[in-house]
Homo-oligomer: A and B are copies of this chain.
Amino acid sequence: MTNEDSQLLVQFLKVLADESRLKILGILANQEASVEELAAYLQLKPPTVSHHLNRLRELGLVTMRQDGNVHTYRFQADALSQVNRLLKPEKLAQLADVEGDAWQRKVLRDFLNGVELKEIPASRKKRLVVLQWLADQFEWDRTYPESEVNEIIGRHHPDFATLRRELIGNRFMARENGVYWRISEKSSSEKSNT
């Protein structure tokens, strides 16, 4: 489902999600009708019906034919199939993909001030996002002595000891013989930014 498909679906649903317009379609599904007839059926004034017919026409749900002064509207059944095509679980699922990691970005926006970590998130999920970001401050393919680890973390937050332990505990980094290095995630979906 492309992004335009998604926008189109919303437009269709907005136009259909109105009792008057559904009734209009219902009437026109039986037989074509003029604005005045529709207005009387629906107990609405002609300008209101005209407005609704315009919205329906914009999406191809009805067409208009003019006989003298009378505008006769006709239902276009196949336009509905577009909606039914898009309104399926699989299609909706594709809709979400365009979004991406907005949540992670939000967490970082909330807890970072520039490169400064305002505080350590209490919730585990958010803490993991921040730790991932912190781990990204370290390069791959090399080791760091503890002093350098403390210094790098210290640029972002005073409590480097806690954060260092968290990095190890949550397997963003590993330690052996007093040196530290980054380790890769197995399957998690987190990604860094900047």
* A residues whose Cβ falls under 8 Å from a Cβ of B: 6, 9-10, 13-14, 16-19, 22-23, 25-27, 29-30, 36-37, 40-43, 75, 77, 80, 83-84, 87-90, 92-97, 99, 102-104, 106-107, 125
Q: Are B6's CB and A22's CB within 8 A?
A: yes
Chain B nearest Cβ from A27, distance in angstroms:
4
Interface of chain A: mostly helix, strand, loop or mixed: helix
A6 to B90, CA, bound (A): 26
Which residues of B have CB within 8 Å of A84? 84, 87-88
Q: Are B22's CB and A95's CB within 8 A?
A: yes
**Can you report 25 residue pairs joining A to B where beta carbons are below 8 Å apart?**
A10-B17, A13-B22, A14-B17, A16-B17, A16-B87, A23-B96, A25-B95, A26-B92, A26-B93, A26-B95, A26-B96, A29-B89, A29-B90, A29-B95, A30-B93, A30-B96, A36-B125, A37-B125, A41-B96, A42-B102, A43-B106, A75-B89, A80-B88, A83-B87, A84-B84
Of the listed residues A17, A37, A84, A104, the one surrounded by the most CB atoms of chain B closer than 10 A to its CB is A17
A107 to B93, CA, bound (A): 50
Q: Are A89's CB and B103's CB within 8 A?
A: no
